[in-house]
Amino acid sequence: MSLSSQEIIALADQSLLGNVTRLPLVLVRGQGLKVWDVEGRQYYDFIAGIATCAFGHCPDFEPGILYEQAQTLIHVSNLFYNKPMVLLAKLLTEATGLAKAFFSNSGAEANEAAIKMARKHSYDRHGPGRHVIVSALNSFHGRTMGAISATGQERFHQGFQPMLEGFKFVPFGDFSALAEALTPDVCAVLLEPIQGEGGVIAPPPDYLQKVSELAHSKDILLILDEIQTGLGRTGHDFAFKYYGAQPDILTLGKALGSGYPIGATLSAEEPSKALGPGTHSTTLGGAPLAMALALEFAKRILDPQFLAKVKATGQYFLKTLNSLKDQRPKDIQEVRGVGLIIGLELTRPAAPVVLALRDLGFLINAASSTVLRFVPPLTVSEEEIDLLAQALDAALARTA
């Protein structure tokens, strides 16, 4: 049955929960950076599933992995071992220097496991009363109750109160404020190396290293949420290495599945012991099909030559946007980011520019009311970046 975009959107309005504001596009096909809608219109996708599709849409190696694993074993549950899960755990623990891995279905679930692990570790080690987790204002850690309770943005809390008890928030990048917050009831610090949903905000260069050293000196765990920054997004395998920090618990998602649902919680040896049999699990996490895909994606992303290319492309992207900023100082306030997670702060609302770019055939989103966020596939080319810059220049002119 052939349906137009309008007909599909009308059906969606009838049957889908209205919890997301969607652009009126029905995408049906993708290849690399490009996607096409029902009517055959082409768009350059600089959202990439919100920093997820690391190799763009439908990379040529993906169908073979899906087919081979689907012909072999799709799901068995965590009551049994499966080879792809074990191999992926080995790869990620060796790459991060952490000891153990737990696989789930999303980044939010990965953060839930991290929160539980930190509190249980503290309980086992110190007894009750040492359960508070320090997070950052303007942070984002997911939509489940534990994850939004750890999220330092009031707009995500509205209507869902009371939040879970035991979280407190400090300004991101303010080391003195964080140090003051590490009272005797604190068991962990939970931070994003770069705040993605908060507007692509990077901390001072030495901030995470100082936080890491201070937390460890107080027997407090450091949890780093690298769901958006991990696995190549910054041009480094993991952002914590770029910033010189050492997490006790690390959470991953997005690029790890490159479009397939997956989350991972990696931990050092001691905190991992807190989640023994019966303390935490999931039915679908670690399923062979997801693990086989993620294993191949991770191998390719962690290749040093691939990471070097991402780093160089990110530098080119920043240089290109800064050149546009020089041409349009009345429109652009700041360009910021690391690798291929880039924010462009406007002097005016971002939403009209997002819509103008869509009309010009480019898909981006706003990470705050005035910040355009660019998180394209890690395989984006300099030529595609040039096309985006030209379109952005035109969109700014249209919406002035």
Average pLDDT over residues 71-82: 95
CATH number at residue 122: 3.40.640.10
Neighbours of 32 (CB within 10 A): 19
Structure tokens at 78: 């965590």
Choose among 79, 84, 135: nearest CA to 111.
135
Looking at residue 2, its pLDDT comes to 86
| E strand residue ranges, 111-256 | 132-136, 167-170, 186-191, 221-225, 249-252
> Is residue 66 assigned to a domain?
no
- Asked if 294 and 208 sit in the same domain, the reply is yes
* Tens-place pLDDT, residues 322-364: 999 999 999 999 999 999 999 999 999 999 999 999 999 999 9
Residues 57, 45: contact at Cβ < 8 Å?
yes
- CB neighbours of residue 37 within 10 Å: 16
Q: 286 and 315 share a domain?
A: no
Altogether, the residues listed in the chain come to a count of: 400
pLDDT digits (tens, 9 = 90+) for 271-289: 999 999 999 999 999 999 9
| DSSP code at position 77 | -
d(CA 4, CA 276): 52
Q: Is residue 67 one of the residues assigned to a domain? A: no
Bridge partners, 141 (sequence order): none
Residues 359 and 384 reside in one and the same domain: yes
In the three-class reduction of DSSP (H, G, I as helix; E, B as strand; rest coil), residue 295 is classed as: helix
Do 284 and 331 belong together in one domain? Answer: no
Domain of residue 349: give its range: 5-58+305-398
| Bridge-based pairing state of the strands 221-225 and 186-191 | parallel
Where is the domain boundary, 301, 330, 351?
Answer: 301
The answer, yes or no, to whether the previous bond of 63 is cis (omega within 30 of 0) is: no
Neighbours of 365 (CB within 10 A): 17
Residue 65: inside a domain: no
Write down the residue that tokens 């041009």 correspond to.
Answer: 235
Provide the 3-class DSSP secondary structure of residue 57.
Answer: strand
Give domain status of residue 257, yes or no: yes
By DSSP bridging, strand 132-136 and strand 42-45 are unpaired
| Tens digits of residue pLDDT in 45-54 | 999 999 999 9
pLDDT band at residue 213 using 50, 70 and 90 as cut-offs: very high
Task: Enumerate residues 6+ apart whose C-beta is below 8 A from 347.
Answer: 330, 331, 332, 333, 370
| Alpha carbon of residue 307 to chain centroid | 17
DSSP, collapsed to helix, strand or coil, labels residue 40 as: coil
Residue 68 lies in a domain: no
CATH of the domain at 358: 3.90.1150.10
Is residue 147 a part of any domain in this protein? yes
Regarding whether 379 and 313 lie in a shared domain, the answer is yes
- Give the domain-ending residue among 301, 333, 356: 301
Of 318, 325, 308, 358, nearest in space to 340 by CA = 318
Q: How many domains does the chain have?
A: 2
Kindly state whether residues 103 and 49 are assigned to the same domain: no
pTM above 0.75, yes or no: yes
- Proportion of the chain above pLDDT 70, given as a percent: 100
Domain-ending residue, one of 301, 333, 361: 301
Q: Is there a single domain that holds both residue 150 and residue 41?
A: no
Assign 101 to helix, strand or coil. strand
For tokens 């009363």, name the residue. Answer: 129
Task: Report yes or no: 65 and 293 within 8 Å, Cβ to Cβ.
Answer: yes
Mind giving me the DSSP string for 325-351? HHH-TTTEEEEEEETTEEEEEESS-SH
Positive or negative torsion for Cα 68, 227, 271, 147: negative
Q: Are 256 and 29 in contact (CB under 8 A)?
A: no
Same-domain check for residues 18 and 151: no
**268: phi > 0 → left, psi -120 to 50 → alpha, else beta; which?**
beta
pLDDT at 136: 98
Pair 114, 202 in one domain: yes
Interval 135-194: pLDDT, tens = 999 999 999 999 999 999 999 999 999 999 999 999 999 999 999 999 999 999 999 999
Distance CA 286, CA 266 (A): 13
Residue keyed to tokens 């694993």? 69
Average pLDDT, the chain: 97
The answer to whether position 64 is within a domain reads no
8 A C-beta contact, residue 40 and residue 369: no
Q: Is residue 269 part of a domain?
A: yes
- Using the Cα atoms of residue 192, residue 196, residue 198 and residue 201 in order, give the sign of their dihedral: positive
Catalytic positions: 140, 225, 254
Same structural domain for residues 107 and 168?
Answer: yes
